[in-house]
Amino acid sequence: MPTLKDIAERVGVNKSTVSRALSDSGKIASKTREKILKVANELGYIPNETAKVLAGKRSKTIGIILPELDCNYYAGLVGAVESKLKDQGYSLIIGQTGFKHENEFHYLELFVRKNLDGILISVHDRIKFGKEIVKARKILKIPVVIIEYFIDIPDFDVIEIDNMYGIDIAIDHLYKLGHRRIGFISEYLSMGTRYPAYVEAMKKRNLTINEKFVKYGYERLELGGYLRMKELLGEKEIPTAVFVSYDTMAQGALKAIAEAGMRVPEDISVIGFDNIRESAYFSTPLTTIAPPVLEMSEKAVDTLLRKIENDNVSTVQHLSLKPKLIIRESTGPCHECSVI
């Protein structure tokens, strides 16, 4: 692997001149700089990032902490963040917590020790995190931006997606189609964020919540949606529409409906949440709620880099971004209902 010395000997200058040219620091004649950069490129020189960090310079690396990558939503989130960072000359390191609170602090401490420049974090247990992050503030000597869910913590930037609003417009869509018996399918991990919003949206429209229409369990993703829908369809009375916590679960739910010989949306309407890329290509293209993941990613990265690159920025912002309804073929009028 070529070194600074190799470049210096080829150009006919000393190592310090090469170092200043490659780091774009110090006064160097433009022709000399161009020659050094050309030779470095020809030799395939790769800068030693570790040495830069030890010298007190930025690592140009950001860490992102999130529950998982199995769900397509989080995979899309990471892709959007990484693309934005790449445009700004930064790289990304990922820490998956497996929805475990202790792993959130494990990665926070690890990323600080690794001399990363900043951290984005999507928190699973907001209550626990909010209590303990105040205690851990001493170790967080680098900027941290909380994404996806709102946590009211002084001195921390938060870029959230308004999930309450998203679920409200989902239930409102079904309500306007004449549905009054609206079910709910989820998993234990997302009950804390999705179910209270469902309850609030139902109460807002004076709709009855039938406990037999609410199904949740430990199984996740497609399997979870499949099993919970089979349970729901096994009830003596079934809802005319169902809200499913996220699109990947909805895919499994659609399979269970098809196996029961029922039609979507003629016999039962289904709406999801996340607007993953695949949702438009399900057996029945899925009506869903689209969170502004790209906008959230861009604003979070911009906020983080602004704090990294300007020590004088002390303003803290809490931004709430609104999802939107994407209507496809999985929802339709309630044929057995009379619209009020």
Checking if the pLDDT of 210 tops 60, the result is yes
Beta bridge partners of 320: 160
68: number of Cβ within 10 Å: 17
- DSSP letters spanning 21-41: HHTT-S---HHHHHHHHHHHH
**What structural domains does the chain harbor?**
4-47 (1.10.260.40), 61-161+292-321 (3.40.50.2300), 163-291 (3.40.50.2300)
Checking if the pLDDT of 136 tops 80, the result is no
Checking if the pLDDT of 141 tops 90, the result is no
Q: d(Cα 114, Cα 65) in Å, to the nearest integer?
A: 14
pLDDT in tens, 289-307: 999 999 999 999 999 999 9
**What is the arithmetic mean of pLDDT over 160-179?**
97
Q: Where are the beta strands (DSSP E) in the chain?
A: 61-66, 91-96, 118-122, 144-148, 157-161, 182-187, 214-217, 241-244, 269-273, 287-290, 318-321, 324-326
Contact by Cβ (8 Å): 101, 191 = no
Cα-Cα end-to-end distance for the chain = 75
**What is the arithmetic mean of pLDDT over 309-338?**
90
Beta bridge partners of 147: 122, 159
Q: What percent of the chain has pLDDT over 70?
A: 91
User: How much is the pTM?
Assistant: 0.82
Q: According to DSSP H, which parts of 2-100 are helical?
A: 4-11, 15-22, 30-43, 49-54, 72-87
Q: d(Cα 66, Cα 145) in Å, to the nearest integer?
A: 12
